[in-house]
Each structure stands twice: as structure tokens, then as C-alpha cells.
Amino acid sequence: MSESFLHSLTDDLSVLEQNGLYKHERQMTSAQSAQINIDGQDRPFLNLCSNNYLGLADNPALITSATKAMKTHGFGVASVRFICGTLDLHRTLEKRLATYLEKDDAILFASCFDANAGLFEALLGPQDAIISDSLNHASLIDGIRLSKAKRYRYANRDMVDLRCQLINAKAQGARRLLVVTDGVFSMGGTIAPLPEISYLSKEFDALVVVDDCHATGILGRAGKGTPWLYDQPANVDVLTGTFGKALGGALGGYICGPQPVIDMLRQRARPYLFSNSLPPAIVAASITALDMVEDANHIREKLSANTMLWRNGLQKIGFEILGDTHPIVPIMVGDAAKATDFQNTLYAKGIFVTAFSYPVVPKGQARIRTQMNARMTEEQIGFALQAFGQAGVGTGVC
Ligand SMILES: Cc1ncc(COP(=O)(O)O)c(C=O)c1O
């Protein structure tokens, strides 16, 4: 074992700690929900930082489906899909997803990180080009890096810049063009201008890919996602997403799109070809989650009402918040140390939130990203607003 290797890692870790960038993980001792138990403490905490938007993470119907599937199909599959790891359940979920998202077909991955990591390399070569929003999720950035296509970046949601980059890519003789954006930007809760993106992509004959992780289940008609918010689902060619947020919050990712795209991914996407297929419990519960979510307007209405109560309350207190109507509600703090102080003061008051600072967000733009969910009661939101108000004043955030 190289002692100098380990010493240099320890030095790097100390630097992270000194700069307030070391991520400490708190341990939950209850199921994910609006109210949770943490670190063995007796009192419960209000949880305002999970992706459990619809509150399905501990849903009894999902647990029943998962348990039943383990009895019929076992615990694990012990294979990748193309060797001996394709269950009838996998194809049922893929077809169910394709129907829900109104596309030809779908392909499952172990996570959306894997889906995004495998997508670009499988579809594009050195003669092709990808045009990507500058605030796209890390998994898209990594996936783009893994492909040999030429890369172009446009400023976040800036359609003038997108047009310039499309012109550049075309001028440099790209064969296939692909434009990719998050549907909802996870650090700001802002929504991509999909009609404009589709319009420009049509003009330049580019494929449109949207990572809709923070929208599927909650935005648009029947919770289908961002393209349905604009009532233009057909203008987005490919959707990537996760089961790890609104759709039950466990794990698993997917890509949904035209048949030739899905067929090529099945042949070429490396995280699909070289990684185990999803276990039966997750797949069966995800089928149930889709059935529930499609029919869950009442839950989405509650989520929306909670989000408005939360956003308006924070604004009234005097916080600077980002986003429009999405349950991601970031509170801007600026200084990283102040954001950590705000987070710790809230923790002492029974509120669980996490401060984000550089490199997760740009330097000087530290924030507390709050996320509302449908399970929170009005009383709990009132309690949280009071705690945020006191902590905000106490730490100089507002
Ligand atoms: C926009 C976006 N894309 C992809 C992912 C990755 O999803 P998964 O957790 O399924 O890997 C996330 C998760 O944080 C995300 O927010």
C-alpha cells in the first residue's frame, strides 16, 4: 500500500473540510417522508430536501407490489439484460413507460445517471454534434464527455445563444445534430423553454433530448412532464428520467423515444450492456407507481397548493428565492459559510435542509435548496415558515 498516496488523499480531504465543502451525511432511521427521524434523536424533523415530491416513497401499494414480485421473481437477476437478465416485468415496465410518455418504446437503466451516461456515445460519432445547456445535470455533462461528438454549449435557457451554437455546429459540417436540456433545472427550479428549443431544433434538423427527472410525475397533463406543460409532447423526441424521485423514489432510470433510438441503445449503450438489470421488486413497484401517478391529479393539486403556500410565505418573510412554480424552491444566501450556518440553525429547530455551495453551484451563489412535497400539512408548512424566518434573521440571510 502506498502511504504517500493515502497521505495526499488525506491532505485533499482536509482542504475540503477547511473550505466548508466536505459533505457530511446524516442518517435517517425512518422511511423517507415529510417528517423523518434522524441521527437517533427522539424528536422528528420536517424534511424539506427530498425528491419525494408526491410522497410515494413509503406508499403501501408500492411496498405490496415489490414484496409480491420478490415472491414470484426472486430478489436479484444476476445478469445483464442481453445474457439472461430480461424478465417479463422489464418489458412490461418499458411498454408501460412508452404508453405513459407517448413514445414508441423505452429502455431501462440502473439509474438515470447511467441512462444519460450511455445515451450520447451510443448515438453519435466524431462527425456529429451535441448542443447542450450550460446548466445541464452532471450526468448529461459526463455522458457528453464520453461521446466522440463535437460539443457546443449554450448559456442557460438562452435561445439566441442556442441558435448561434446550432449555426456553428452546422457550419462545421456536423452530420447528426442533437440538442439536450434538463426539463427542470435542479439547482434553480427553473423550466426549460421547450417550444423555442423545439422550433430551433426543427429549423436545424436536430434531435431534441430532455432530461425530465424533476418533472415526470408532477408537471403537465397527468404528470407526464415538461413537454406536456407546454402541450407540445410530440416536439420532444427523446425523454430521459428516473424512478428515484416522484415515481416512488427508489432507483432506476430510463430513456423513452423513437424505435430506432431505443433499438440502437439496446445494442450500444454501455451502462445497459455491461451492468446488471433492475431487480424485480423495483420493476414491479415502478409499474404500480406509473399506474398511480397517471391517476394522481389530486396529489399534484396538493403539491401545487403546498408549493404556492411555501413560495409566497418565504417571499413575504423577505427571502430571495429562485424558480417559478416548481416545488424546487432555492433560497439564495451567497456566502458558503453563511449557508451552512443557516442550515445548522434550521436543524436545531427541527428542519432538515442541505446547503449547496461551490462546486455544486457557482462560487458566491450558495443556497439552501428546499423541495416541497404533497405530504406536508398546512400546519407543518406554517411551522417551517416560522423556523425559516427566525433562522434567516438570526443568521443574517434576510
Ligand atoms: C436532472 C437529473 N438528471 C439525472 C439525475 C440522475 O438520476 P438517478 O438518481 O436516477 O441516477 C438526477 C438526479 O439527481 C437529476 O436531478
**246-272 residue pLDDT tens:** 999 999 999 999 999 999 999 999 999
Query: pLDDT tens for residues 57-94?
Result: 999 999 999 999 999 999 999 999 999 999 999 999 99
* pLDDT at position 20: 75
Which one from 50, 65, 111, 186 is the annotated catalytic residue? 186
Answer yes or no: 95 catalytic. no
Report the separation in Å between the CA atom of 43 and the middle of ligand 1, taken as the mean of its atom positions.
31
Query: pLDDT tens for residues 165-184?
Result: 999 999 999 999 999 999 99
If pLDDT is split at 50, 70 and 90, which confidence band does 23 have? confident
Closest residue CA from atom 12 of ligand 1: 213
Alpha-carbon distance 72 to 121, whole Å?
Answer: 36
Which one from 137, 245, 302, 326 is the annotated catalytic residue? 245
Answer yes or no: 245 catalytic. yes
Answer yes or no: 214 catalytic. yes
> Which numbered atom of ligand 1 lies nearest the CA of 139?
4
Query: pLDDT tens for residues 121-138?
Result: 999 999 999 999 999 999
CA distances from 167 to 124, 200, 396 (A): 18, 10, 46
List ligand 1's pocket residues with C-beta within 6 A: 111-113, 116, 137, 139, 182, 186, 211, 213-214, 242, 244, 253
Question: How, if at all, do strands 366-371 and 351-352 pair?
Answer: unpaired
- What cell was used for 137? 445535470
Ligand 1 mutation target, pool 186, 209, 226, 360, most atoms within 8 A of CB:
186
Ligand 1 mutation target, pool 137, 182, 190, 360, most atoms within 8 A of CB:
137
360 has a pLDDT exceeding 90? no
Q: Where are the beta strands (DSSP E) in the chain?
A: 35-36, 45-47, 105-109, 129-133, 150-154, 177-182, 184-185, 190-191, 206-211, 238-242, 253-257, 328-334, 351-352, 355-356, 366-371
The whole-model pTM stands at 0.97
- What cell was used for 208? 431534441
Report the separation in Å between the CA atom of 182 and the middle of ligand 1, taken as the mean of its atom positions.
10
Which one from 90, 137, 214, 326 is the annotated catalytic residue? 214
Domains of the chain as residue ranges with CATH: 22-54+297-395 (3.90.1150.10), 60-294 (3.40.640.10)
Cβ 61 vs Cβ 292: under 8 Å: yes
Report the separation in Å between the CA atom of 242 and the middle of ligand 1, taken as the mean of its atom positions.
7
